[in-house]
């Protein structure tokens, strides 16, 4: 019977174990150094720069975050309030110039309508005559008036509503 486990094989196995031991030893040293650095960074962070510990630092951060969230909510409420006020602004204008009397001058009479997003507002008409001028104002709710509107006032209101439709 032949012996397969010889002195050379035993020395090769011992050499292999020695190389593995050295590699693991070096790896252990590298990990120890990294762990030491990590531990040092953690201690520095946990102690804080002004004698605060990690718990106090986190508590301050959470308080600050809560303050920022409250501030953000206040800004959102203010923004929504401003949006609501803008919707109520009378910013849609329709104006129509016309000649109120056939024999007199040029288009010196006019009707203009001023409405908001909900088509609430007013229609104002100025009728110019050679000896006198008259101005009439009529309220508008939801695009209509309780008072009878002249053809020119209806056209001015339609222009104002149409001008608002472009913005949307």
What is the rounded CA–CA span in Å between residue 113 and residue 96?
9
The answer to whether residue 16 sits within a structural domain is no
Q: Can you tell me whether residue 111 is helix, strand or coil?
A: strand
For the residues 27-47, what does the mean pLDDT come to?
Answer: 88
By mean pLDDT, which of 37-46, 112-121, 129-138, 155-164 is the weakest? Answer: 37-46
The residue from 88, 114, 137 where one domain ends is 88
Please give the residue range of the domain that contains residue 71.
53-88
Mean pLDDT (the chain) is 86
d(CA 63, CA 7): 72
Q: Percent of the chain scored above 90 by pLDDT?
A: 48
- In terms of Cα–Cα distance, which of 108, 116, 120, 114 is closest to 95? 114
Side-chain-side CA neighbours of residue 76 (13 Å): 6
Residue 163 lies in a domain: yes
Q: Residue 147 and residue 111: Cα distance in Å, rounded?
A: 15
pLDDT band at 1 (very low <50, low <70, confident <90, very high): low
The two structure tokens encoding residue 166: 């472009």
In this prediction, residues 157-166 reach a mean pLDDT of 80
Number of domains in the chain: 2
Same domain, 112 and 83: no
Residue 142 has pLDDT above 70, yes or no: yes
């Amino acid at each position: 019977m032949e012996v397969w486990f010889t002195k050379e094989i035993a020395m090769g196995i011992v050499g292999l174990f020695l190389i593995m031991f050295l590699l693991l030893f070096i790896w252990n040293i590298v990990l120890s150094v990294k762990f030491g650095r990590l531990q040092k960074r953690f201690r520095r962070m946990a102690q804080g720069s002004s004698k605060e510990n990690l718990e106090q630092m986190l508590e301050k951060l959470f308080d600050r975050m809560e303050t920022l969230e409250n501030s953000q909510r206040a800004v959102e409420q203010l923004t929504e309030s401003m949006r609501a006020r803008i919707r109520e602004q009378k910013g849609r204008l329709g104006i129509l110039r016309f000649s109120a009397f056939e024999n007199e001058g040029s288009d010196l009479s006019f009707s203009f309508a001023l409405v908001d997003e909900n088509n609430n507002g007013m229609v104002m008409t100025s009728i110019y005559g050679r000896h006198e001028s008259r101005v009439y104002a009529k309220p508008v709710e939801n695009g209509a008036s309780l008072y009878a509107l002249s053809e020119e006032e209806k056209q001015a209101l339609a222009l104002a509503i149409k001008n608002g439709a472009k913005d949307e």
